[in-house]
Structure 1
């Protein structure tokens, strides 16, 4: 349908494998492959087979009401909001037995690249998984979503670098991947209960005390 121009300027979804190619070929589309199905005006798009079933249930609910849709939903053992169960990339390794082994190399890479883009899409691609499956496996192993895990890695490393007292706040925040010093300071204070600048204030106090003691 995209070649007809009917979807220009509209929000659509597609399978994550094809999102980049679709965006390149049809730049006027608003593509969000994270959604299993999307309705924009009279047009519906889906990411895959199970998402198509969910879309059908949503359309039945629109036309016949929630009771009919829920009855059919129970028969199909599906949920209207169920995420699309996408196929894994062909080279992905099953994670059912030892997922921690699969993710250990990824964590090491993350620690070496805290300044880089560590979005779910990037991490999932490195792990050879689709984003939805990666997020579920990651949370089952580490007990928190990838985004929270990345944030904690960045803040813990920032605190370690600040403790060396050799760099400015701006340099440290950029080196661990924060877009701005303000965002870094807010996140730091939420996690540790103190301002990152307090490290520099402590350093200045120590220097002053040392100077007074030597006189």
Structure 2
């Protein structure tokens, strides 16, 4: 393939790992296949920028002198929440020219402010999804996935999700083996599917205020293979099914069925990643009952069947 220019935009208050994570992936690809990616960085005035962690990054050039990139990377950080209007103007002008427009974390706010996410599905760090949706109602904000691709625009969740997205782009360009080699070098998984949830079911749901409902939450997590119907869970909470379902949603932010589905999926994922247990056994202990039921759940939530998920997440050790 022809060499692609990757341009990472720098600004004061950028999150350093939002920049260096994806850049290390593209740099690894360039080492593996020389002539694949040309990596450049630029800030508004070409001056060094101070990251949220206090590190200083020195850009290659001012944005005005930067080449039109094939991949325009807009990282996030505190400075991305209230972006400099000059940065927004530059991204508005140059973003549509990029073959791929990519954001990490709150970099999505910069793209949204430039109007480049209007009518598109996008994500950002879970802590800022509500804010992005409120401030930019024309954007279809999805708080769940690790990353979202809508045409040539790709947005990712917080920090390490930028690595996942960069690996996905490299896999698309150079194939799975190349991306796997880079992932091994960085000691990361290849790769979290884009629609994998940003965080676990217990973290995604609020903790219920009342002890009977908290106990039900604990029971679901500890016994995913049990009878977790609304009727059974309501009996455990000593409530009627209707009252239980209403109270559970009010106190946790999700329905009992949604919570059970996420817990079972997470349990099955952990077993696929961390054990050599067979698919049939995992489907049983995770509460799916049959491999086919688990397969349908994985395809719906992650876009990959269990065997393929395991293959991606448990690569063979490097000789």
TM-score of Structure 1 vs Structure 2, range by shorter chain: 0.3 to 0.5
Compare the two structures and name the one with the higher strand fraction.
2
Looking at CA atoms only, which structure, 1 or 2, has the larger radius of gyration? 1
From the two aligned structures, give the one with the greater helix fraction: 1
